[in-house]
Chains A and B, each alone.
Chain A
Amino acid sequence: MKHFVLGLAPVLAVSTLTINGIGMGLIFALTLLLSSGLIFLIRDHLPEIIRNSISVIIIAAVVTLIQLATVHYAPDLCASLGIYLPIIAVNCYIYYSAGVYPGAEAPLKTFKACLYIVIISVFAGLFREIAGKGTITMMIAGAGFTYDLGKSILKDISLSPAVVFAMPAGGFLIAGLVLAFIQHIKNISRRNKTWIC
Chain B
Amino acid sequence: MDLLKITSASFAAIFINNFVFSRFLGFCPFFTVSKKPYFAVIPGLAVTVLMTLTCAVLYPLNHYVLAPMILEKYLQTAVFVFLAYLITQAAQFAMKRIMPYSSGEIFSYFPLLSSNCAVLGAAFIIINENYNIIQGLVFSFSSGIGLTLALLMMSSVKERIDSPHIPAAFKDLPISLISAALMALSMYGFTGIFK
A residues sitting closer than 8 Å to B (CB atoms) are 1-3, 5-6, 9-10, 12-13, 53, 56-57, 59-61, 63-64, 67-68, 71, 82-83, 86-87, 89-91, 93-94, 97, 164, 167-173, 175-177, 179-181, 183-184, 187
Contacts and interface: CB of A to CB of B under 8 A. Distances in A.
Q: Is the interface of A mostly helix, strand, loop or mixed?
A: helix
Interface in B18-33: 21-25, 27-28, 31-32
A70 to B, nearest CB: 12
B185 interface: yes
B175 interface: yes
Contacts of B170: 176, 180, 183
Q: How large is the interface on B (under 10, 10 to 19, 20 to 34, 35 or more residues)?
A: 35 or more
A179 B174 contact: yes
A87 B27 contact: no
Contact of B81 (A10, A86, A94, A183): A86
Contacts, number: 132
Interface string B168-190: 11111111111011101100100
A176 B24 contact: no
Contact of B181 (A5, A6, A83, A170): A170
B59 interface: no
Given A53-B85, A177-B174, A180-B174, A89 B77 contact: yes
Interface string B159-172: 00000000011111
B24 A12 contact: yes
- Interface secondary structure of B, over-half rule: helix
Contacts of A12: 24
A89 B121 CA distance: 11
A10 B174 CA distance: 18
Contacts of B32: 2, 6
